[in-house]
Amino acid sequence: MSYTNELRIALLAVQRASLLTKSVFHSKAKGTVDKNDKSPVTIGDFGAQALIIAALQKHFPDDEIVAEEEAAALREQPELGDTIWDIVRQTALSDDHAEKELGGAIASKESMLALLDKGNSAGGSKGRIWTIDPIDGTKGFLRGGQYAVCLGLMVDGDVKVGVLGCPNLPVDDQAPLTADIGSNQTSDGHGVLFSAVQGQGATSRPLTDGPLAQEKSISMRAVPSLAEATFCESVEAGHSAHGDQAQIAQKLGITKPSVRMDSQAKYGSIARGAGDIYLRLPVKATYQEKIWDHAAGDLIVREAGGEVTDIHGKRLDFSVGRTLANNKGVVAAPKASHGEVLSAVQEVLKAKL
């Protein structure tokens, strides 16, 4: 399967949703609410999810969808729903042809809420299932840092297509990776769309407001020695174990300080060789990673010549539901160095027992 149509619709859907997130990013009122697990969600997350699902429903009405957000809070707070509806209604691709291709505007606020709830699939190992993280790195989004609009297609539990929209990453694939906990950068020279199709390699292209830009093939950097490597990790200390990660870096002889940035922008950054290693060691043993936090990034890194496993060396398993219940943590590195990185991970974790 070449997945040409799936890739095109995914790219356009992420591009349109990214437009919406950018306008929220640059406005003061982000309509932040706390979810049951105390994590934040904004009008940008809801709006982006509704727009992506609308495009998927138009083209692939029989596919299932596992998305992070749901409409319940908006039914309880109608004014918040109205604010989101306003911005969703106003967001369209400037390329009329592409906008039509995505189905144009959503019909009403009620249909927007119904679309949001279509992301409630339980996931699993059978059939075609899309997974959406409308804003990954919501905390980064709120801080003025990195975030990503993420979409992946799984077929029988295997990721076939992945797209990441990263509005705040530099367009330049070679730009050195810098720590970015939130600098509210202007959009000049920023905005990248990463994509990959299984067996077809990974690409990046500028994330424009107009027609899709020409893509370039990307690959991970060949690191002559791990001492030269750049490793990245979450900004949030609650999302991955900074202390363990520092010890692993030290074991590997890495001298550069870690690059902390939010979201799957980390996967995109190592895939294009701006960084080399992404470590996500568990903070709480009971936490299960969500499939929408990894599906697109996992495929993009592997298609760029990387290897992605959990801390036990197992491939990420997207076939067991909405979470990566069979995995703990993430270790992503160039194929040739992954074994060495994994050994350091396991030594550090063993020493803690």
Ligand X SMILES: Nc1ncnc2c1ncn2[C@@H]1O[C@H](COP(=O)(O)O)[C@@H](OP(=O)(O)O)[C@H]1O
Which residues contact Mg ion by CB under 5 A? 39, 68, 133, 135-136, 138, 293
Q: At what angle do helices 43-59 and 4-25 cross, to 10 degrees?
A: 160
Cβ proximity to ligand X: between 93 and 177 the closer is: 177
Q: Positive or negative, the Cα torsion across 101, 59, 56, 191?
A: negative
Do 146 and 275 contact (CB within 8 A), yes or no? no
Nearest one of 353, 345, 123, 165 to 245, comparing CA atoms: 345
Q: Given the residues 21, 42, 45, 203, select the one marked as catalytic.
A: 45
Do 260 and 179 contact (CB within 8 A), yes or no? yes
Render 248-292 in DSSP notation, one character per residue: HHHHTT--SPPEEB-STHHHHHHHTTS--EEEE--SSTT---BGG
| Residue 234 interacts with which of Mg ion, ligand X, none, CB < 5 to 8 Å by class | ligand X
Cβ-based neighbours of 215, under 8 Å, separated by 6 or more: 195, 203, 204, 205
Q: Which residue is nearest to ligand X (CB)?
A: 234
Q: Assess whether 63 carries a catalytic annotation.
A: no
Q: Given the residues 42, 91, 131, 138, select the one marked as catalytic.
A: 138
Nearest one of 144, 151, 146, 194 to 53, comparing CA atoms: 151
Min. distance of Cβ 80 from ligand X in angstroms? Answer: 18
Beta bridge partners of 17: none
Cβ proximity to Mg ion: between 133 and 303 the closer is: 133
Cβ proximity to ligand X: between 127 and 238 the closer is: 238
Beta bridge partners of 129: 64, 154
Cβ-based neighbours of 336, under 8 Å, separated by 6 or more: 222
Q: Assess whether 45 carries a catalytic annotation.
A: yes
**Beta strand residue intervals within 42-183, DSSP E:** 64-67, 128-136, 148-155, 158-170
Q: Which residue is nearest to Mg ion (CB)?
A: 136
d(CA 261, CA 349): 23
| Residue 168 interacts with which of ligand X, Mg ion, none, CB < 5 to 8 Å by class | none
Sheet with 306-309, side-by-side order of all strands? 259-260, 231-233, 277-280, 330-334, 306-309
Nearest one of 49, 68, 26, 2 to 292, comparing CA atoms: 68
Min. distance of Cβ 331 from Mg ion in angstroms? Answer: 18
Min. distance of Cβ 70 from ligand X in angstroms? Answer: 13
Do 88 and 116 contact (CB within 8 A), yes or no? no
| Residue 239 interacts with which of ligand X, Mg ion, none, CB < 5 to 8 Å by class | ligand X
Give contact residues for ligand X (rule: CB under 6 A): 39, 68, 133, 136-138, 140, 234, 236, 238-239, 262-263, 283-284, 287, 290, 293
Cβ proximity to ligand X: between 199 and 238 the closer is: 238
Beta carbons within 10 angstroms of residue 95's beta carbon: 17
Min. distance of Cβ 35 from ligand X in angstroms? Answer: 9
| Residue 287 interacts with which of ligand X, Mg ion, none, CB < 5 to 8 Å by class | ligand X
Residues carrying an active site annotation: 45, 138
